[in-house]
Amino acid sequence: MLLEAADDIEVIARRSNGDQAVELSRAERPDVILMDIRMPGTDGLDGHPSQIAAADALNGVKVVI
């Protein structure tokens, strides 16, 4: 809600686990991905930030945990 209220930030999607976040990042290529370390199912620490960082197509996408 805080991010959506900011004038200079556009929230494009929300996902409930790390697998969905990686899938979305490949499809949408956002500037920044905000991941929770306590996401249900696969959380934000189980290798997903490194999967995003390692993907050539996602070069420059930042991950904040």
Report mean pLDDT in 10-residue bins for the chain, 65 residues: 88 85 86 83 71 81 85
Task: Give the β-pairing of 62-64 and 32-34.
Answer: parallel
Question: Which pLDDT value is given to residue 65?
Answer: 82
Q: Are 51 and 42 in contact (CB under 8 A)?
A: no
pTM of the model: 0.72
Residue 20, classed as helix, strand or coil, is helix
The DSSP-derived string for 34-64 is: E--TT-SSS-TTSSHHHHHHH-GGGTT-EEE
Residue type, 12: I
